[in-house]
Every structure is written in C-alpha cells, then in structure tokens.
C-alpha cells in the first residue's frame, strides 16, 4: 500500500496534487497555514504544523504514510529539515520536488548575496523605490532602511501593522507576466528589486521586467537543504512513486 504525504504550498505542489488525484493516489496535502485563502486542492488537506520532528514522526506512523514528497518553498528550510529527519526516523521514503533555480541572462544586473539578512545593507543609503518581493516573513529586516519606499506584493492583506513606514501593498497571486510586471514597475517608479532565488516560472516575470527596464536586482541565494533524492518536475516525482503503485489504493 502506498500512502503519500505531500508537503505543499507551491505551484509545483498544486500541479502534483492534480496528478495524484487523477491516478487515484492515496495522498494527503499539507499546508503550513500561512496563507489565509489557499488554493483549493483535489486531495484531502490538513493545515498547520506537526509539532517538530517528534510530532511529524507520530503523524507518519499514525497515518501509515509510506512516502513523503517535500514540495515546499525552496526557502522553507525548517520544514524540509524536519521532513528529512522524521522520514529517516520513521523509515519513510522521501523525495524533494525542487524547482530549478533562476540564473542570470544577458542584460541582467544581479547582485547575489548569501541570505535575505544580507540584503538591507546592500541597498543604497539615499532614498530609493524598492520592489520587495520576498513575502512577509522577513520584512522586519528592512526596518534599518526606513528611508526607502517599499512595494510589497502579497497573497493576503497584512493582518498586522507593517514594520516599514513607507509602503505600497498589492494583493495578488501569481503566475505573473513580464508585460504586467513592466507596467507595475513603471507605475511605482521602482529603482531596485529585491528577491529570493525561488526559481520556477510563476514569479520570474519580475526578473524579465527588470531586464527589460535595466533595473538592478539584489537576490538571496538558496539555503542549503538536506541531502537526498531530488526531482525538478512533477513527472519525475510520479516516476519515483510509480504509477502502478498509485492505482487502486
């Protein structure tokens, strides 16, 4: 019997959920719960944390999970580390669905830094207009540069006061287009773009727009994730799981 825990919250995870549902897989989709209105899934879902590695081990054993697919965000290091540790303890097979990282192209002006924490110091001291495309978890890091105007594009309306005094907030969910992002950057007179190297297609439009407009991008490199099997496509994950094992469970 194959029973799958899909750790999701990404476009790739959503695509995988559709494929698993289409073949009749016995699978559970797990959200971290940070988004107020997550995309509806064709699989049974659970929301929230597991209680660290011990809690995840208990969950795997109670639910008789045989396979974990870690399709979380490339910067969700805590969940990936917990999943790897719990899978090893519970003797559960694990694969990480990891979208390909972005790479600079001709015409790009990128500054690559080791972590998001390093980015505020790399911003200019004179007031600038910054597209801060990093989500909402690390906005507080940029409070040291309050002189800038920050454009935030978030999935949900902020539910608490923002730590930045001068912001514009756009609530929108990708995928986005280069044409749309060019118009957005022009409208807000953006001078700098800050991003994480999340990879994939859904959010790369801002980088294409930056190239078209000749804007500098300051980008955080991906963190190091646990070693183990890695797939860069839904098809590879399905092959790893095995179609025949997924039918009729």
**pLDDT tens digits for 130-173?**
999 998 889 999 999 999 999 999 988 888 899 999 999 999 98
Q: What share of the chain is helix, strand, coil (3-state, %, to 5)?
A: 35, 20, 45
Task: Please say whether the beta carbons of 111 and 218 come within 8 A.
Answer: yes
119-to-10, 91, 190 alpha-carbon distances in Å:
24, 39, 17
**Above 50 in pLDDT, residue 223?**
yes
Q: Tell me, what's the pLDDT at 106?
A: 94
Which strands make up the sheet holding 167-171, listed edge to edge?
A: 110-113, 217-220, 192-196, 129-133, 149-154, 167-171
pLDDT level of residue 34 (50, 70, 90 thresholds):
low
Q: Is the pTM of this model over 0.75?
A: yes
Task: Identify whether the C-beta of residue 175 lies closer than 8 Å to the C-beta of residue 74.
Answer: no
244 — pLDDT class (breaks 50, 70, 90):
very low
Average pLDDT of the segment spanning 188-214: 94
Q: Do domains 4-100+225-246 and 110-220 have the same CATH topology?
A: yes
- Nearest-CA neighbor of 173 among 33, 19, 32, 37? 37
Tokens of 26: 């016995």
What integer pLDDT is reported at residue 185 of this predicted model?
A: 98
Q: What confidence score (pLDDT) does residue 1 get?
A: 81
Do residues 65 and 249 make contact, with C-beta atoms less than 8 angstroms apart? no
CATH of 4-100+225-246, one of 3.40.228.10, 3.30.450.40, 3.40.50.2300, 3.40.50.11190: 3.40.50.11190
Tell me the per-residue pLDDT of 52-82, one tens digit each, with 9 for 90 and over: 999 999 999 999 999 999 999 999 899 999 9
Domain ranges of the chain: 4-100+225-246, 110-220
Closest CA to 159 of 177, 178, 137: 137
May I ask the CATH class of domain 110-220?
Answer: alpha beta
pLDDT at position 243, please?
58
| pLDDT at residue number 109 | 97
Confidence band of 247 (pLDDT split at 50, 70, 90): low
Per-residue confidence band for 21, with pLDDT thresholds at 50, 70 and 90: very high
Residue 31, pLDDT score? 87
Nearest-10 Cα torsion for 161, 119, 145, 127:
-120
Q: What is the pLDDT of residue 248?
A: 43
Task: Give the pLDDT confidence score for residue 190 in this predicted structure.
Answer: 98
Q: Residue 35 above 70 pLDDT?
A: no
pLDDT for position 158: 85
């Amino acid at each position: 019997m194959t029973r799958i825990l899909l750790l999701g919250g990404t476009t790739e995870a959503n695509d995988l959920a559709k494929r698993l549902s289409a073949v009749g897989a016995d699978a559970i989709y797990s959200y971290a719960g940070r988004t107020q209105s997550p995309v509806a899934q064709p699989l049974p879902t659970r929301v929230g944390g597991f209680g660290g590695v011990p809690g995840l081990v208990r969950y795997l054993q109670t639910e008789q999970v045989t396979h974990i697919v870690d399709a979380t965000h490339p910067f969700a290091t805590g969940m990936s580390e917990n999943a790897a540790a719990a899978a090893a303890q519970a003797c559960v097979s694990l694969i990480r669905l990891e979208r390909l990282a972005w790479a600079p192209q001709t015409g790009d002006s990128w500054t690559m830094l080791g972590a998001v924490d390093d980015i505020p110091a790399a911003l200019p001291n004179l007031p600038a207009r910054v597209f801060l495309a990093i989500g909402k978890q690390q906005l507080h890091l940029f409070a040291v540069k309050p002189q800038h105007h920050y454009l935030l594009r978030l999935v949900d309306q902020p539910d608490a006061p923002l730590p930045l005094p001068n912001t514009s907030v756009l609530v929108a969910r990708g995928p986005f287009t280069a044409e749309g992002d060019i118009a957005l950057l022009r409208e807000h007179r953006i001078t700098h773009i800050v991003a994480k190297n999340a990879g994939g297609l859904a959010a790369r439009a801002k980088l294409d727009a930056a190239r078209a407009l000749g804007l500098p991008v300051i980008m955080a490199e991906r963190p190091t994730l646990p070693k183990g099997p890695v797939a860069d496509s839904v098809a590879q994950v399905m092959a790893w799981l095995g179609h025949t094992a997924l039918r009729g469970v």
